[in-house]
Amino acid sequence: MLPSFDLRFSSTANEACGFLDEDWYLIAGGTEMVPALRIGALTPIGLVDLNSSAEMRVVAKVGSSLEIGALVTHTEVTNSDLVVEHVPVMSKICMHVGNARVRATGTVGGNLCFAEPRSDLSSVLHALGASLILIGPDSERVLSIPEFIVGAFQTSIENREVLQKVKIPLPAEDVNYWKFTFGERPTVGLAWILRENEIHVVIGAATEVPTSYTFVKGEKVDLETWAEELEIESDLAGSAAYKRALIIQKLREIGVGL
Amino acid sequence: MTTSQLITCKINGVGVEAWVKNRSTVAQFLREQLGLTGTKVSCEIQVCGSCTVLVDGSPISSCSVFAYRLQGKSVTTIEGVAERGHLNDVQEAFVNNFAFQCGFCTSGFIMMTMSLLGSSERPTDEEISEHLDGNLCRCTGYEPILAAAKVAVRKRFGDE
C-alpha cells in the first residue's frame, strides 16, 4: 500500500528548489521512487513533480559539451541523434537498462539521484568525465560523478538542490562498456578506455560506488590480490568471490595485467 | 494539504475526467475507479509486465506510475485493442499461435507487442525478443508468445 503524500508541481529547477521543504522529495519518472515509497524506505510529507519541466527534457550540444537534461528518459537518450553522433556509448547502454517500460519512464536524473549501485549510467558517465549541474536556491554547483555519488543510495545533493542536467565533455572519450546481468539490474558493470600506454577502468554495480583505476599497459598485475581490496558484498546476484572472478576475467580480456 | 487531483485524459479514445488520489497508481485508477480489470497487477515492482498499458503510445508499468500523471494523456488498455468488436492483428496472432495458457500475463504481452508496432522501422527478431524480455509468463509459454509477436510484426511491416 502506498502512503499518502501531498503534491506540488514545478516546471523549472529553480522553482522546485523553493518547494523542497523538509521531508519533501522530487519525483521524475518514478521508477525508483514508487518502489521506495511502497516498501517504506522513504516517508515524504510531499512530492515535487518535475515532469512538466521542458528545460530539463532537452538534449543539446552547447559549446564543447553534450548536455542531457535530468528528465530525459533512457529511451530518449537511446534515440537521440545528438547522443548517437557524439556519445554513442550512452545510446547503447541506455538501450539495455532494465526493461522497455523502465526505459520509457525512468530518467537519467532519477537514475543518478537514487544512487542505486547497480546502475550502468553512473559507471559510464564517470568514465566519460561527465559533470552534474546542481541548482540550489541561490547558487549552482558542478560535481563529478565521484563527488556526487558518495555511497550506496547516497549522494552529496543538499536540501533544496535539484540535479538539472549532465554535461559530457566533447569530443567524448572512447568509452567501452560491458555488464554481466541475470536480472533487471547489472551484477557487475565495467567501463574502460584504452589509451596508448594505459587502460583506464571504472568498476560499478558490484561496488557501492563506481570506482576508477588506471593500469599501465604491459605491466604485470596480480589481479587476484588486487581484487581482494575491492569492497564487494555477496547478495542474491552472486557471492563476492563470484563477482570478483567476473571482474578479473573481464580485465584480463581487455588486456589488463598482461 | 492536497490529497487528490482532478485529471482529464483519454482512455481508449474516450474523454475521462476524474478525481484521483495522489497515491493512486494508474492500475488502481483503471481497475478500481473505471472498472477496466483487463489490466492485471502481479509483481508491483515493474519486472513482470502484466500491468502494461500504453500512455501516448509508450509502454508503462501501470502498477508503478501515479494516476495523476495521466493529466492530458491518452491511454490504451487491453480493452481498447479490439477493433469494432473484432480481435485486432495482435490478439489474433496470440490466439492462432496458442500464445497463452492461464492468460494472466496476456494483456501485458499484447500491450508490449502493440507498442512495438508503433516503431518507425521494422524491429528485428532480436529486438522483438529484447522488447518482450521484461515480461514474465509463469506457464512458461515464451516460444509461442514470441512466435505470435513476430507474426504481428510481420503483418504490420511486411516480410522484409
Q: What is the pLDDT of residue B46?
A: 95
Q: Assess whether A163 and A180 both reside in one domain.
A: no
A123 and A26 share a domain?
no
Nearest CB neighbour to A35, from listed B2, B45, B131: B45
Question: Quick check: B58 and A6 CB within 8 A?
Answer: no
pLDDT in tens, A18-34: 999 999 999 999 999 99
Q: With an 8 Å Cβ cutoff, are A38 and B44 in contact?
A: yes
* B49-87 residue pLDDT tens: 999 999 999 999 999 999 999 999 999 999 999 999 999
The ipTM, to two decimals, is 0.94
Q: Which residues of chain B make contact with A184, given a CB cutoff of 8 A?
A: 47, 134
Place of cell 530518449: A76
On whether the pTM is more than 0.90, the answer is yes
- What is the reported pLDDT for A184? 86
CATH code (residue A37): 3.30.43
Q: Is residue A1 part of a domain?
A: no
Residue A223 has pLDDT above 90, yes or no: yes
Cross-chain residue pair B23–A100, CB shorter than 8 Å: no
Share of chain A above pLDDT 90, in %: 95
Q: Is A161 left (phi over 0), alpha (psi -120 to 50) or beta?
A: beta
Do residues A35 and A66 share a domain? no
Same domain for A14 and A62, yes or no, is: no
Residue type, A61: K
DSSP secondary structure letters along chain A: -PPP-EEEE-SSHHHHHHH--TTEEEESS-TTHHHHHHTTS---SEEEE-TT-SGGG-EEEETTEEEEETT-BHHHHHH-HHHHHH-HHHHHHHTTSS-HHHHHH-BHHHHHHHT-SS-SHHHHHHHTT-EEEEE-SS-EEEEEHHHHEEETTEE-PPTT-EEEEEEEESSPP--EEEEE-SSSS-SEEEEEEE-SSEEEEEEESSBSS-EEEEEETT----HHHHHHTS-B--BTTB-HHHHHHHHHHHHHHTTTT-
| Residue B159, pLDDT above cutoff 80 | no
Are residues A164 and A59 part of one domain?
yes
A184/B47 CB distance under 8 A: yes
Do A107 and A187 share a domain, yes or no? Answer: no
* Band of residue B141 on the pLDDT scale cut at 50, 70, 90: confident
Q: Is A139 on the interface with B (CB under 8 A)?
A: no
| pLDDT tens per residue across span B108-125 | 999 999 999 988 889 999
Q: H/E/C letters for each residue in B10-75? A: EECCEEEEEEEECCCEHHHHHHHHCCCCCCCCCCCCCCCCCCEEEECCEEEEHHHCEHHHHCCCEE
Find the domain containing A38 and state its range.
Answer: 6-49
Q: If you write DSSP's letter for every residue of A166-193 in order, what string do you get?
A: EEEESSPP--EEEEE-SSSS-SEEEEEE
Q: Indicate whether A133 belongs to any domain.
A: yes
Domains contained in chain B, CATH given: 4-80 (3.10.20.30), 89-157 (1.10.150.120)
Phi, psi torsion values for B83, nearest 5 degrees: -110, 115
Q: Does residue A258 belong to any structural domain of this protein? A: no
Residues A129 and A66 in one domain: yes
Question: A interface mutation test: which of B4, B7, B23, B55 has the most A CBs within 10 A?
Answer: B23
Q: Give which of B60, B120, B130 to mutate to test A binding, by max A Cβ within 10 Å.
A: B60
The answer on A127 and A75 residing in a single domain is yes
What sign for the dihedral angle of Cα B111, B113, B115, B117?
negative
pLDDT band, very low/low/confident/very high, at B160 (cuts 50, 70, 90): low
Decide if B120 touches A, using CB distance below 8 A: no
Mean pLDDT, residues B15-42 taken together: 98
Residue finishing a domain among A169, A200, A231: A169
> CB contact, 8 Å: B66 with chain A?
yes
Write the residue in A7, A31, A37 that is nearest to B46 by C-beta.
A31
Residue A139 has pLDDT above 60, yes or no: yes
Number of domains in chain A: 3
User: From the candidates B19, B20, B66, which should be mutated to test the interface with A, based on the most A CB atoms within 10 A?
Assistant: B66
Report d(CA B129, CA A174) in Å as an integer.
Answer: 29
pLDDT of residue A147: 98
> Is residue A130 situated within a structural domain?
yes
Confidence band of A193 (pLDDT split at 50, 70, 90):
very high
CA distance between the termini of chain B? 56
Report the CATH number that the domain containing residue A89 is assigned in CATH: 3.30.465.10
Q: Which residue has the higher pLDDT, A83 or A184?
A: A83
What are the cell numbers at A8?
506540488
